[in-house]
Structures are given as C-alpha cells and as structure tokens.
C-alpha cells in the first residue's frame, strides 16, 4: 500500500506516533488510508451541506475496511462572485484546487481518494487532481438544488438575474424582484439548471468517475447520502481491484462524455474544463472534437436556462444513465469502458430505464438535430469561439450587425442596463480573456440583462471572456486569440459589421485585410497592475482554446 510509506517498519515509529495523536488505533493504522477531499464551506449553497455527505463517505469507507481521513479544499461561488472583481479569481481557483489536492495527497501517501465537489471550478479542479494523482478514486458531488417556485412557476437563480433586466425594462416591479429573490434558491445544492456545476457533475458520471446518480440526485434527498456511502465502499473495491482513474477516463470515455454534453445542452464552460481534465490524463482534445460530436448527437434534453426542465426533472426521468441508454441506440458510445462501479458502461446501462420521453426525448422528437454546443471559427475567431446553440433563438442563428465595443464587462453592463443598446447591435466585450481579464470572467450579468430586457431576439454578445452555464441567447464566448494577445477581437471598432452564422460555424469581422493590418500596427495592449494570484495566472495561463490551463 502507498500508505506504508508513512506507517510500516520500525523507522516509521515517529509517523505512527503522529497518527496516534489524531486518535487512530493500531487497527485503523493497519488499514488502507483513504483521503476524503471535502470542499464544504459556509459560503456556497452547493457546499453548505457537504459535511453530511463527507460523514456518509467516511461511513462507507469504514464499512468496507478502510480508514478515512478528511481534508478541505477551497471553493468560490460564481454567482456571488459575478459582476465584480471577485470573478477574476474563479477560474484561477481551478488550478489552485488541483494543486492543493496534489500537495496534500502526495504529502500523506493516501491509498485511495474520494472527492466531494459541487460547484463550478471545484468539480473540474478535483477531476484534474484525480487524473494527475492516478490513485483509485471516486467522485461524489453534493447534488443539485431543487428549483424554487414563484407564483406557480418553477424558478432558479437565473430567474433572479434576468429579473434585474425585467425591472429595468419595466416588466417587473422591484417588490416582485424582492419576492423572487427570496424563493428562487430554496436550499442546499448546486443551482438547479444545467449550469456549469451541474454540467460538470453530469459529465463526471458520463466519464465514469462518478457513480450512477452522481449528476442528478438532488442535494436534499436521502438518496444522495446513500450514494455517498456507496462511494466510500466502492473506492475500497477499486483499490482492491487496482482500478485507477486513468483506467476509467480513457480517450473513449472522454468521447462518451462529449456525446452526453451535446445531448444535454451543457454549459459552454465544459469546452474549457473537459480538455483541461483530459490533459491531466495525457489526452489532447481539440475544439473540433466538440463540433464533430455535435454533428452526430442531437439535443435531447432542454433544461433551464434554455428549456422548461430542471435537474430534478432529469433525475425523475432516469438521470444520466437514461440519457446514455438513449445515446447507446445511436452507436456513439463505447460500451466497453470501465466505470467507478467496477463494471463496464454496458453492464451499468442494463439497469437503466428511460422514464419520461418528454424530459429525455427520442432521436425522432429531439429538440435539435445537432448537439447543444457549436464551435465557430472565422476572421474574428481564427482559433475558435463557443456558443450554446441549443439556447439560441432561431432568428439569431444567422445575424449581421454593427459592433458596440466595450473594453470591460462593467462598461458593457452599465450601457445595457441604461437602455443604450439597440435592436440589431452586436455587443463586443474584450480584454476579459484568461490573460487579459485576467481570469476570463463570466458575463452572466450582461447576458441576463439582455434576456430580461427582451433583447435576446435581436442582440448578440461576443467576448473573449466566458459565460455562466446560466446564459441563454446568441452569446458567443472564448473568442480566440484573445484581445490581450492581439487577436482580431482587439481590432474591432465601434460600428464595424460582424457576421454570425452558427449553422455554418462562422464568426467573421467584415473588415478588409489591409485595414486590419493597419489597425494591428497601431495596437498596443492595455497594461493592468496585477499582484499575487492574478499576476501568476496572467503569466502562466494558456488561451481558451487550450482550456485556459497553466502552461507547462
């Protein structure tokens, strides 16, 4: 056992003495050591309940003959960090989460690990650590929040963000907004729609590193606690069998996860996180891999913010296993891949049932013939940009309009909320990329304002930053190369015409080559005074098309 490095032989008497100082008995020291990585805190609704999940995991480990040892990990709530300086720190936290887990796990020589994440950057950060360390591991998330209810209709956090725009547009009163904010998020869990946290928890299950139910069992259900106990027991089985994360998260497994991504209409942030996670397993994913899968897999589930359903509805319909069972009929899944159950995907899916053909549609009745995400290229984004095409209204799939250019999110949000954007405009927000932001902030405030003000049928938004999974509309992010590196988005001027053609996967700046060359000669990147984490991230991060991960 790896933990023998800390406890076996006479020379390790000092190590055993320290372990006994924690109250461990000789019997507990003799068993395998299982690290329980817990992101519980009192900051994030998705994490407020994770201590009970960790207790269940530890109970499962003990039932299966292991000795659990819990240690913490940081987390940032993207919703609370939104639209102020705090959002600069969210994406960099992903790398710090992965690094901090590596430090503790290597320093203490665990035999196995159970990861308990729940929200945006915590899930991919833990997945990156699992594949980097490659010791037997299971991921069990805290689960999704239930949808709220406001005047007889289901609501969630995005309802509140869009409510701000509705108040500005005069279609909602401030008192109604106050009423909405009190009921949209009814309790613990990751926000109720197919936003980034739930997208990544669902893809963790599709990848095989989470047990069936990981992505969809609501946080407040007792079923979530039972799942956590099974995760603790199952990691001991994986340890006994010698099954490690890289035996599960193979190239074929990542292909399976991308197929589920397209069927669900997941957050565009998956296009950042999935390649970064794959890289830790020595697997290189390209943006074109997402486009290729989008062409093969129809959009089968329409969840908030793009559609009427929430994660609890998907759970009642059979969850991710049911979605994969549907996809199995398309022959896009590798059924032989190993999973955290200790069985293959094909063996797991024998027990899956599709319980609601409205929530998980058939191929014949799919919401869209193509998958939820599209990668666009063109003169504005030579290295690619991403859009959640399943959330774009038909009239916005093709659009040409004049650029309204802003060099920060704050400047754009101020003008949008003040009614300064006209129908047909293409809002461009730049210098918000991985290096330029730095930290590649999410643009949920401007996109929600556009939707809440009823402009999502007429106004597109393009940025080298990124979007919350709660974004809907013609919101095109990750524009690469980013402005801070002199990408074409840095050369756009007010009034330039921009052509969007999502069906043809094109994003073009309609300005001649000579004019762009002249603008490039005159361009100078803005300088920002940076310190600490942001200074390091701006120096070390790669572009969005490379997952915005650290450069080696």
How far is it, in rounded angstroms, from Cα 3 to Cα 365? Answer: 53
Q: Using DSSP, state whether 154 is helix, strand or coil.
A: strand
Percentages helix, strand, coil for the chain, rounded to the nearest 5?
45, 15, 40
The token pair at 509 is 């700046």
How far is it, in rounded angstroms, from Cα 89 to Cα 358? Answer: 39
**Strand 137-139 vs strand 148-150: parallel, antiparallel, or unpaired?**
unpaired
Q: Of 468, 480, 541, 543, which residue is the catalytic one?
A: 468
- Contact assessment for residue 194 and residue 304, using Cβ atoms and an 8 Å cutoff: yes
How far is it, in rounded angstroms, from Cα 437 to Cα 445? Answer: 16
- Contact assessment for residue 541 and residue 480, using Cβ atoms and an 8 Å cutoff: no
**Strand 153-155 vs strand 373-376: parallel, antiparallel, or unpaired?**
unpaired
Query: Which of 502, 98, 131 lies closest to 285 in space, CA to CA?
Result: 131
Q: Give the residue carrying structure tokens 């009190």.
A: 182
Angle (nearest 5°) at CA 303 between 302 and 305: 115
**How far does CA 63 lie from the centroid of its chain?**
32
- Contact assessment for residue 123 and residue 141, using Cβ atoms and an 8 Å cutoff: yes
Residue 284: Cβ within 10 Å count? 10
Q: Phi, psi at residue 403, to the nearest 5°?
A: -75, 135
Q: Indicate the burial class of 71 (C-beta count within 10 angstroms; 0-12, 13-18, 19 or more).
A: middle
State yes or no: cis peptide before 486, omega within 30 of 0.
no
How far is it, in rounded angstroms, from Cα 60 to Cα 26? Answer: 20
Q: Phi, psi at residue 69, to the nearest 5°?
A: -135, 115
Q: What is the CA radius of gyration of the chain?
A: 23
C-alpha torsion 429→431→432→437, nearest 10: -150
**Strand 148-150 vs strand 67-72: parallel, antiparallel, or unpaired?**
unpaired
The H-assigned helical ranges of 110-221 are 122-133, 157-169, 174-181, 196-207
Helix (H) or strand (E) holding 28: helix 26-30
Residue 199 bears catalytic tag = no
Q: Catalytic amino acids?
A: 468
């Amino acid at each position: 056992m790896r933990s023998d490095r800390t406890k076996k032989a006479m020379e390790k008497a000092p190590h055993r003495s320290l372990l006994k100082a924690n109250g461990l008995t000789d019997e507990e020291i003799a068993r395998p050591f299982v690290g329980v990585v817990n992101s519980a805190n009192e900051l994030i609704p998705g994490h407020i309940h994770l201590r009970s999940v960790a207790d269940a995991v530890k109970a499962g480990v003990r039932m299966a003959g292991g000795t659990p040892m819990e240690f913490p990990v940081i987390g940032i709530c993207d919703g609370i960090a939104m639209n102020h300086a705090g959002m600069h720190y969210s994406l960099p936290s992903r790398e710090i989460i992965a690094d901090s887990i590596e430090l503790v796990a290597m320093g203490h020589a665990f035999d196995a690990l159970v990861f308990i994440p729940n929200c945006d950057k915590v899930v991919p950060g833990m997945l990156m650590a699992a594949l980097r360390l490659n010791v037997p591991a299971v991921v069990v998330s805290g689960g999704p929040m239930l949808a709220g209810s406001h005047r007889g209709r289901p609501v969630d956090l995005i309802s509140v963000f869009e409510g701000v725009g509705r108040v500005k547009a005069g279609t909602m009163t401030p008192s109604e907004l106050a009423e909405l904010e009190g009921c949209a998020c009814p309790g613990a869990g990751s926000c109720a729609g197919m936003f980034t946290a739930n997208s990544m928890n669902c893809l963790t299950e599709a990848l095989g590193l989470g047990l069936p139910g990981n992505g969809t069992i609501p946080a407040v259900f007792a079923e979530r606690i039972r799942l956590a106990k099974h995760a603790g027991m199952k990691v001991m089985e994986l340890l006994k069998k010698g099954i490690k994360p890289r035996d599960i998260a193979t190239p074929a497994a990542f292909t399976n996860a991308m197929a589920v991504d397209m069927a669900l209409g997941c957050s565009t942030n998956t296009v950042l996180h999935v390649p970064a996670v794959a890289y830790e397993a020595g697997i290189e994913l390209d943006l074109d891999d997402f486009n290729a899968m989008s062409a093969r897999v129809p959009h089968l589930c329409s969840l908030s913010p793009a559609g009427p359903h929430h994660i609890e509805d998907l759970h009642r319909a059979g969850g991710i296993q049911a979605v994969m069972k549907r996809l199995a009929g398309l022959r896009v899944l590798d059924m032989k891949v190993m999973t955290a159950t200790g069985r293959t995907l094909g063996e797991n899916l024998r027990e899956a049932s599709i319980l609601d053909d409205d929530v998980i549609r058939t191929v014949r009745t799919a919401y869209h013939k193509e998958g939820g995400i599209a990668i666009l290229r063109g003169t504005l984004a030579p290295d690619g940009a991403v859009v959640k095409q399943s959330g774009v209204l038909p009239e916005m799939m093709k659009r040409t309009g004049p650029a309204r250019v802003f060099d920060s999110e704050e400047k754009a949000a101020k003008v949008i909320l003040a009614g300064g954007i006209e129908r047909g405009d293409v809002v461009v927000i730049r210098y918000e990329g991985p290096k330029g932001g730095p930290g590649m902030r999410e643009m949920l405030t401007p996109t929600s304002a556009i939707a809440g003000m009823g402009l999502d049928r007429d106004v597109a938004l393009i940025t080298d930053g990124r979007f919350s999974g709660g974004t809907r509309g013609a919101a095109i992010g990750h524009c690469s190369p980013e402005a801070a590196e002199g990408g074409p988005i840095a050369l756009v001027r007010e009034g330039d015409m921009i052509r969007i053609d999502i069906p043809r996967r094109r994003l073009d700046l309609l300005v001649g080559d000579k004019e762009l060359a002249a603008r490039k000669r005159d361009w100078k990147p803005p300088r920002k005074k940076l310190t600490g984490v942001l200074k390091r991230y701006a120096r070390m991060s790669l572009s969005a098309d490379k997952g915005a991960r650290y450069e080696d």
